[in-house]
């Protein structure tokens, strides 16, 4: 993976690598960002298949707005889902930071299976009930006509492990609402599935976590809400 980062600003403090408790890997900061608005969001459709919807004009404005909103955040690596809305959301940030966007399948939206593109309330609630059950530990439960939670979380874990192994200490991941809520609800030590279920993410909202794969994660911010 090629990462091109900005040089430190003159007078900036030296970067100190905080070590995880096991001493093997530095702690890292992970920003999980939901993509910008799409037409499917407007009709509440379960749009999870490739290539997926593109951003609306507002969604493109939201993506551009991330540049300013994350201006104070160091970013060593920028990852995105293969779905078009995620890559379009990542593009302005990549351009501003001079970073290559690393595209990974494992951070795409949780697949809706037989519920794909349904927009009725019953289907949407079944989808959300299933993914929040995964966050609560019922990972053997399958999505109707689709994958299990064990499979979905393992794919997300693989990408986070890859980022940690790369040596990036501050990484931003452009992903999807259900995927972020489910993974964070399952893996963060200070929140649970009930919290994730009560706190949907708006387009381009960010979940911030500190930690490492082997020592665990602490969610420090959920959208605009500080958690620690």
The span from the CA of 30 to the CA of 126, in Å, is 29
What is the distance between the alpha carbons of residues 25 and 124, in angstroms, rounded to a whole number? 39
Locus of tokens 């109707």: 144
The token pair that represents 144 in the structure block: 């109707």
How far from each other are the two terminal CA atoms of the chain, in whole angstroms?
33
Residue-level pLDDT at 228: 87
Query: From the first residue on, what is the mean pLDDT of each consecutive set of 10 residues in the chain (228 residues)?
Result: 35 40 70 98 98 98 98 98 98 98 98 98 98 98 97 98 96 98 98 97 98 96 95
Q: What's the 3-state SS for 75-91? A: CCEEEECCCHHHHHHHH
H-helix or E-strand containing 42?
helix 39-42
Please report the pLDDT score of residue 70 as a whole number.
98
Domain 28-226, CATH homologous superfamily name and number: Phosphoglycerate mutase-like (3.40.50.1240)
pLDDT (0 to 100) of residue 5: 36
């Amino acid at each position: 993976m090629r990462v091109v980062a900005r040089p430190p600003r003159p007078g900036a403090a030296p970067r100190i690598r905080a070590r995880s408790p096991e001493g093997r890997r530095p702690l890292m900061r992970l920003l999980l960002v939901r993509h910008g608005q799409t037409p499917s969001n407007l009709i509440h459709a379960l749009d999870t298949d490739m290539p997926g919807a593109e951003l609306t004009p507002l969604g493109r404005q939201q993506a551009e707005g991330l540049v300013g909103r994350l201006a104070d955040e160091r970013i060593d690596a920028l990852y995105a889902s293969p779905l078009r809305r995620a890559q379009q959301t990542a593009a302005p940030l990549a351009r501003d930071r001079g970073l290559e966007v690393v595209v990974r399948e494992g951070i795409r939206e949780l697949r809706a299976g037989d519920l794909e593109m349904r927009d009725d309330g019953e289907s949407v609630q079944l989808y959300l009930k299933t993914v929040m059950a995964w966050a609560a530990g019922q990972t053997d439960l399958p999505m109707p006509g689709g994958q299990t939670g064990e499979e979905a979380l393992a794919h997300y874990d693989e990408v986070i492990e890859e980022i940690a192994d790369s040596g990036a200490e501050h990484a931003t991941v452009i992903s999807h609402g259900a995927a972020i809520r489910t993974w964070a609800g399952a893996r963060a030590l200070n929140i649970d599935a009930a919290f994730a279920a009560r706190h949907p993410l708006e387009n381009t909202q960010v979940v911030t976590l500190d930690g490492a794969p082997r020592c665990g994660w602490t969610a420090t911010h959920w959208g605009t809400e500080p958690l620690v």
